[in-house]
Amino acid sequence: MTILMKELTLEKVATGPVAVRVYEGAANTADAPVLLFFHGGAFTGTLPKRSLFAETAAQAGATVVLPDYNAPLGGIFPKPLETGFSIFSCLAQKRAGLGNRKSKLFVGGVEAGANVAAAVALKARDHFADELDGQILLSPLLDPYMASASMREADALGMRERWSEGWSHYLSGGMCHPYAAPCTCSRLSGVAPALVLTSEDDPLRDETFGYAAALKASGVDVHQHVLPAGTGWPSIYGAKSNDIASWQACAARQFADFVHAIGIQ
């Protein structure tokens, strides 16, 4: 499917205008699902020149909105969350000209962006924002203590120092609220259904597994998939990888199946 891409500014966001990049398939219908997708970058990244998952989701039939969410207020918690939730609220009110009343609305992200997406889902639950239909969490960066067993593999991929510095930056405002580190949240029931993806060679897989298990234990509908090693999955958040990225077809299938399951519900 041909992918169309355009640069927009969302003017009606409560925290102020936000630059976004929109990906959509040329054959998308007017009620295509809308995915608000937060990029990675260890809490310090800017809008990337390319997002392979955004392209993948667009090929699977979604309209993907990729915001420069750190730019309006800065990248220190809670500012990215405030911006992210304001964008979600704008999209939920169908004020951005993306999707229509029948469109399902999802939030998602990769690495630090998946942290923000998980926090938006928690805040949507707490604010009774029933417009959120699901969350897509790709290798979420959730644990500021970086204490999981799989995190020992981060050095080999060139990520441990980057993540350590990223957490220090994100929490430098002096707050470690459950919205900042969703893995510490003791009340997860009632949040939107989740699609959770990681890989066997992902240093973030243990905290991904842990959060998925906590969601399931709280009664949340969780769709989980682990890609095999060698698909280049860690490169999705900028890790060193000698493997050619070959995860796209599997990720597209998992995303499409999740969206379909939400539609049936």
Residues 6+ apart with CB under 8 A from 163: 42, 141, 146, 154
Residue 23: count of CB within 10 angstroms of its CB: 24
Q: Assign 212 to helix, strand or coil.
A: helix
pLDDT tens-digit readout, 59-95: 999 999 999 999 989 999 999 999 999 999 999 987 6
Sequence spans of domains, the chain: 3-264
Q: Which two tokens stand for residue 188?
A: 């997860």
For residue 95, the model assigns a pLDDT of: 65
DSSP state of 163: H
> Does residue 178 contact residue 184 with C-beta atoms inside 8 Å?
yes
For residue 23, the model assigns a pLDDT of: 96
For residue 129, the model assigns a pLDDT of: 87
Q: What is the mean pLDDT of residues 181-196?
A: 96
Percent of the residues in the chain that have a pLDDT greater than 70, as a whole number:
100
Closest of 204, 224, 243, 253 to residue 56, by C-alpha: 253
Q: Which CATH architecture has domain 3-264?
A: 3-Layer(aba) Sandwich (3.40)
pLDDT tens-digit readout, 114-138: 999 999 999 999 998 899 999 999 9
pLDDT of residue 265 exceeding 80, the answer is: no
Q: What is the mean pLDDT of residues 3-10?
A: 94
Pairing state of beta strands 134-138 and 34-38? unpaired
